């Protein structure tokens, strides 16, 4: 084991001295953050302030809406009919960015059209909807009902049929939590693919530059393989840690300094809203989706449970899959020869993604249960289950699944060790399944 | 002492070593000779525990060869290989640590050897930037940096210029004087003659000869004698008469000659001296032993003939 650790240290050091590894340590998260920034900054390219002409010949909104309500919106009233073509081309209307048509039919067909010259931003669209829609609604309530505005709004919500499991009537485990687990599982699969190939290429390179002969004269082949896997695994963990840290830090900075307005409901200060109305907006808009996301990330996922399981499953899955990559690297005659044999491993990794989908959408299916215990897919399914939370009794399943993964990782490392030992000194051949079986049989 | 006892090894159906038995005495430079494909590399890999024999045992100082012996063995493989992305000093320290040394000792010994070979300025160079000869030196240091008792060298002189060949040979002689055992596999027969004590000759996975260099050379001696004298060639011809055949003549000037003669029949060195005495002024007479190259060729040819029969 001492020699495995020495080899692992060398592998880690080699990566840390590799400029491209160091560059990717920082460029990776920077790219992710740049992408997120791009989405937040440029995702909404619409117009951010407008002069709106309200064509209201019947005086429906008279005294119910004013230009001061929102800094971004300036309303102007016109008490006659205006045709679209006239608004579009008429000289006197050119100064207006949009026209809202409110004729007397509005109260019957409940449809208001807003004609714009340049599409408004999502934020502005929402403000327009809020201000105009609600004012028209108030007129309608007054005209057609005996109810107060608040009473009307309480009953106006459409009936919703929500599908829920009898085992989870409160829908505590809705699949938004599952997607978090799925995302964590994807990270594991991504890093396994990336660093699994690094293991394969590293071993193939050692083999081609003949350094293995020298190494094997002072260390057992299994220890050498383990050292390689461990060292590259440490590099993977380090990269994962730095990426998580930098992306997390970046998101906090985005939220605190750059995109305060987007995420903060108080930015609607220009609009006079009751708390109730604010809440309603916050549950019925794109902001609501963000808030659900915040709620999911900060409140519903127990990261004190999630992170240790993620690290444990990451390590075990990496060891499990790395054994395959190292066996192929050691037994292949050339690096390109080995890459052919990698395809089945990637197919298995794809199956893991499918297992994730299965577990998100049909968590109680037999296939999802099977995937929980298969070592190829168990990390993904376990993370989905853990992100949903679990009862004390159901954790036994997770433990059993992890135990199977530990046993299989150990078993496949032993098998890979045997293939490594018998294949590492074979050069220039074309790898065939026959070779693998022969080397497996040899002691 | 290393005792090799009935070692056999096959790859698929090809026999690489066939019941090999011999001993490698302590404190000697031991030559492991044989043509390509004779099984030398397989035996070396077994001695280094890179592969296991199918049958037979190896004992080192009476104990069965095991992992605890790794720190006592140094190895310079024929197929040289180092991590190209590492610096010279890091590579050597890394390999010394794998052989059981502490970081401190590994660093100390590495600096000692870099100093000794006068290549301290290469310490921080990357292996990839070294020339073949430089890389060979680093590889040699890698084999000895952990102060092994047994040093196994597979073609250690290939890639070296004559100056460095001399440097390595002198180093090997020095290590021998310190009581270390060196197992040398090489096709460079001149160096075998120069530094080896005992040798074994492998051919087609079998041991065909095992003895000291001197004994092997004597065993295939071909009755050649070298004579340096002053006088004239007619007197020499009369002296040799029909007992010895004159093969080569070299005039040294002032009626001095150097000649090579071969005996006929059962004639001996004493017969030659008796024939020459009183007829010529002798300066030197010596029996010309065959070179190891000739011994090698002779033994292999003899074995081939036997095999054919």
Residue B197 shares a structural domain with residue B275: no
Closest chain A residue by Cα to residue B151: A217
CB-side neighbour CA atoms (13 Å) of A416: 27
**Among the partner residues A6, A206, A210, nearest to B94 by beta-carbon distance:** A6
CA distance A299 to chain B (A): 47
Dist CA A265 CA A274 (whole Å): 12
pLDDT given for residue A266 in this prediction: 47
Query: Å from B260 to nearest chain A CA?
Result: 47
| pLDDT band of A300, cuts 50, 70, 90 | low
Q: For residues B91 and B129, what is the distance between their CA atoms, to the nearest angstrom?
A: 14
Contact A10 B94 (CB under 8 A): yes
- What residues have CB less than 8 Å from A431, skipping those under 6 apart? A328, A331, A332, A333, A337, A338, A340, A341
> What pLDDT band is residue A169 in, cutting at 50, 70 and 90?
low
Whole-angstrom CA distances from B198 to A251, A260, B27, B151 are 74, 85, 11, 15
SS3 category, B250:
strand
Q: Do B230 and B211 sit in the same domain of this protein?
A: no
Is the per-residue pLDDT at A219 higher than 90? no
Q: Which residues of A touch B94 (CB under 8 A)?
A: 6, 10
**Could you tell me how many CB contacts below 8 A there are between chain A and chain B?**
61
Cβ separation B77–A7 shorter than 8 A = no
Residue A75 and residue A30 in contact, taking contact as beta carbons nearer than 8 Å: no
* Low-confidence stretches of chain B (pLDDT beneath 70): 309
**Residues of A with CB below 8 A from B127's CB?**
none
- B79–A210 CB contact, under 8 Å: yes
Over residues A217-232, mean pLDDT: 89
Our CA-based measurement puts residue B164 at a distance from the nearest CA of chain A, in whole angstroms, of 22
> Which of the four pLDDT bands, split at 50, 70 and 90, describes residue A8?
very high
Q: Is the pLDDT of residue A391 over 70?
A: no
Between A109 and B148, the more confident residue is B148
Q: Is the pLDDT of residue A244 over 50?
A: yes
Burial class of residue A85 in the structure, from the number of CB atoms within 10 Å of its CB (0-12 exposed, 13-18 middle, 19+ buried): exposed
Which residue of A lies nearest to B98 if distances are taken between CA atoms?
Answer: A3
B240 & B92 share domain: no
Contacts of B118 (CB under 8 A, 6+ apart): none
Report which of B19, B40, B33 is spatially closest to residue B297, judged by C-alpha positions. B33
B158 in any annotated domain: yes
- Contacts for A250-258: CB closer than 8 Å, 24+ residues apart: A250/A29, A250/A32, A250/A33, A250/A36, A251/A33, A251/A36, A254/A33, A254/A36, A254/A37, A254/A40, A258/A37, A258/A40, A258/A41
Among A3, A206, A209, select the one facing B98 at the smallest CB separation. Answer: A3
Total number of domains constituting chain B: 2
Per-residue confidence band for A144, with pLDDT thresholds at 50, 70 and 90: confident
Give contacts of B90 with chain A, Cβ < 8 Å.
13
On whether the CB atoms of residues A15 and A232 are closer than 8 A, the answer is yes
**B81: closest chain A residue by CA:** A211
Given B190, B218, B246, the domain boundary residue is B218
Same domain, B33 and B6: yes
Report which of B153, B164, B194 is spatially closest to residue B292, judged by C-alpha positions: B194
Q: Do A210 and B75 touch (CB under 8 A)?
A: no
- What confidence score (pLDDT) does residue A234 get? 93
The CATH number linked to B254 is: 3.30.70
List the single best residue of B79, B98, B126 to mutate versus A (max A Cβ within 10 A).
B98
* Complex prediction ipTM: 0.80
Position A16 pLDDT exceeds 70: yes
By three-state DSSP, how is residue B20 classified?
A: strand
| Residues B138 and B144 sit within 8 Å (Cβ to Cβ) | no
Cα separation, A246 vs A178, whole angstroms: 24
* Least confident interval from A160-174, A212-226, B48-62, B129-143: A160-174
pLDDT in tens, A28-80: 889 988 887 877 766 556 667 788 888 888 777 777 776 655 667 888 888 88
pLDDT at B131: 84
Residue from B75, B98, B95 nearest A2 by CA? B98
Indicate if B178 and B246 belong to the same structural domain.
no
CA angle B189-B191-B194, nearest 5°?
115
Give the DSSP H/E element, type plus range, for residue B60: strand B55-60
User: Chain B: nearest CA to A119, how far in angstroms?
Assistant: 57
Q: What percent of chain A has pLDDT over 90?
A: 10
> Would you state the pLDDT for residue A261?
59
Q: Decide if B81 and A213 are in contact by the 8 Å CB cutoff.
A: yes
Whether B111 is in a domain gets the answer yes
Q: Which residue has the higher pLDDT, B219 or A302?
A: B219
Per-residue confidence (pLDDT) for residue A233, from 0 to 100: 92
The reply to whether B172 and B65 lie within a common domain is yes
Number of residues in chain A: 443
Chain B residues lying within 8 Å of A15, measured CB to CB: none
For B185, the domain range is 2-218
Among A209, A213, A220, the residue with its CB nearest the CB of B77 is A213
**Per-residue pLDDT at A155 exceeds 80:** no
The nearest CA of chain B is from the CA of A205 a distance in Å of: 9
Kindly tell me if the per-residue pLDDT of A280 is higher than 70: no
A52 sits in which H/E element: strand A50-55
Query: What are the residue boundaries of the structural domains of chain A, listed by start?
Result: 2-38+175-266+273-441, 50-155
Angle at alpha carbon of residue A178, lines to A258 and A28, rounded to 5°: 45
Q: Indicate which of B50, B76, B145 best probes the interface with A, i.e. most A CBs within 10 Å of its own CB.
A: B50
pLDDT at A265 over 50: no
Is B161 exposed, middle or buried, given 0-12, 13-18 or 19+ CB atoms closer than 10 A? Answer: exposed
Cβ-nearest to A218 among B51, B52, B99: B99
Per DSSP, the three-state class of A273 is coil
Based on the fold, state whether residues B164 and B194 are members of the same structural domain.
yes
| Among candidates A6, A18, A209 on the partner chain, residue whose Cβ is nearest the Cβ of B98 | A6
Look at B85 and A17 and tell me if their CB atoms are within 8 Å: yes
Average pLDDT over residues A127-133: 79
Q: Are residues B73 and B119 in the same domain?
A: yes
CA separation for the pair A332, A429 (Å, rounded):
7
pLDDT bucket at A273, cuts 50 / 70 / 90: very low
Q: What is the pLDDT of residue B224?
A: 87
How much of chain B is helix, strand and coil, in % rounded to 5? 40, 30, 30
Is it the case that residue A268 has pLDDT exceeding 50? no
Which of B144, B163, B161, B145 shows the shortest CA–CA distance to B153? B144
By CA distance, what is A216's nearest residue in B?
B50
More confident residue, B50 or A430: B50
Looking at the structure, give the CATH architecture of the domain made up of residues A50-155. Answer: 3-Layer(aba) Sandwich (3.40)
Q: Decide if A6 and B79 are in contact by the 8 Å CB cutoff.
A: no
- Distance from the Cα of A330 to chain B's closest Cα (Å) equals 15
């Amino acid at each position: 084991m001492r020699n495995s650790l020495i080899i692992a240290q060398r592998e880690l050091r080699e990566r840390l001295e590799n400029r491209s590894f160091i560059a990717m340590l920082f460029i990776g998260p920077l790219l992710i953050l740049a992408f997120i920034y791009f989405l937040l900054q440029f995702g909404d390219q619409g117009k951010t302030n407008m002069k709106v002409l309200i064509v209201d010949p019947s005086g429906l909104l008279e005294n119910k809406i004013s230009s001061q309500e929102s800094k971004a919106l300036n309303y102007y009233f016109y008490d006659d009919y205006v045709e679209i073509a006239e608004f579009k081309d008429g000289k006197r209307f050119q100064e207006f960015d949009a026209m809202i048509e409110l004729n007397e039919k509005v109260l019957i067909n409940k449809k208001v059209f807003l004609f714009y010259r340049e599409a408004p931003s999502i934020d502005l669209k929402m403000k327009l909807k809020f201000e105009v829609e609600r004012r028209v609604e108030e007129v309608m309530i007054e005209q057609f009902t005996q109810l107060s505005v608040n009473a009307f709004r309480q009953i106006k919500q459409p009936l919703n049929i929500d599908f829920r499991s009898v085992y989870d009537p409160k829908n505590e485990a809705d699949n938004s939590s599952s997607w978090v687990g799925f995302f964590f599982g994807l990270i594991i699969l991504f890093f396994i693919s990336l660093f699994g190939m690094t293991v394969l290429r590293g071993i193939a390179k050692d083999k081609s530059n003949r350094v293995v002969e020298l190494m094997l004269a002072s260390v057992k082949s299994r220890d050498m393989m383990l050292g390689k896997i461990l060292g590259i695994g440490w590099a993977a963990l380090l990269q994962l840690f730095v990426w998580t840290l930098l992306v997390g830090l970046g998101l906090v900075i985005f939220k605190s300094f750059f995109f305060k307005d987007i995420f903060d409901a108080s930015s609607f200060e220009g609009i006079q809203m009751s708390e109730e109305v604010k809440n309603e907006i916050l549950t019925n808009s794109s902001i609501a989706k963000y808030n659900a996301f915040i709620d999911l990330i900060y409140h519903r996922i127990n990261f004190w449970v999630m992170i240790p399981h993620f690290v444990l499953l990451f390590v075990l899955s990496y060891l499990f899959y790395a054994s395959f990559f190292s066996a192929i690297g050691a037994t292949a005659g050339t690096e390109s020869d080995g890459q052919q044999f990698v395809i089945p491993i990637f197919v298995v990794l794809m199956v893991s993604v499918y297992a994730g989908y299965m577990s998100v959408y049909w968590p109680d299916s037999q296939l999802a249960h099977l995937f929980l215990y298969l070592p190829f897919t168990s990390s993904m399914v376990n993370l989905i289950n853990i992100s949903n939370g679990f009862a004390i009794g159901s954790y036994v399943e997770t433990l059993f699944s992890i135990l199977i993964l530990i046993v299989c990782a150990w078993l496949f490392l032993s098998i890979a060790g045997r293939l490594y030992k018998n294949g590492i000194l074979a050069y220039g051949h074309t790898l065939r399944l026959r070779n693998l079986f022969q080397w497996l049989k040899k002691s | 002492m290393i005792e090799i006892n009935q070692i056999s090894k096959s790859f698929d159906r090809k026999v690489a070593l066939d019941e090999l038995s011999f001993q490698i005495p302590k404190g000697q430079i031991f030559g492991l000779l044989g043509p390509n494909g004779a099984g030398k590399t397989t035996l070396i890999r077994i001695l280094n525990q890179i592969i296991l024999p199918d049958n037979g045992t190896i004992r080192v100082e009476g104990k069965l060869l095991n992992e605890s012996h790794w720190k006592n063995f140094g190895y310079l493989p024929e197929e040289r290989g180092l991590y190209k992305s590492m610096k010279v000093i890091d590579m050597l320290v890394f390999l010394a640590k794998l052989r059981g040394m502490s970081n401190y000792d590994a660093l100390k010994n590495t600096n000692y050897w870099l100093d000794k070979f006068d290549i301290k300025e290469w310490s921080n160079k990357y292996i990839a930037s070294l020339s073949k000869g430089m890389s060979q030196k680093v590889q040699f240091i890698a084999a000895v940096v952990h102060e092994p008792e047994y040093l196994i060298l597979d073609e250690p002189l290939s890639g070296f210029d004559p100056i460095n060949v001399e440097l390595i040979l002198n180093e090997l002689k020095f290590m021998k004087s310190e009581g270390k055992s060196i197992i040398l596999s090489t096709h460079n027969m001149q160096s075998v003659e120069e530094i080896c004590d005992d040798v074994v000759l492998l051919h087609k996975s079998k041991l065909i000869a095992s003895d000291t260099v001197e004994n092997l050379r004597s065993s295939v001696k071909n009755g050649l004698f070298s004579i340096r004298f002053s006088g004239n060639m007619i007197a020499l011809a009369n002296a040799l008469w029909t007992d010895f055949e004159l093969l080569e003549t070299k005039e040294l000037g002032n009626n001095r000659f150097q000649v090579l003669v071969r005996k006929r029949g059962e004639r001996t060195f004493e017969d030659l001296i008796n024939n020459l005495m009183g007829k010529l002024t002798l300066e030197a007479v010596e029996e010309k032993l065959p070179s190891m190259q000739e011994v090698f060729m002779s033994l292999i040819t003899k074995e081939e003939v036997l095999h054919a029969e």
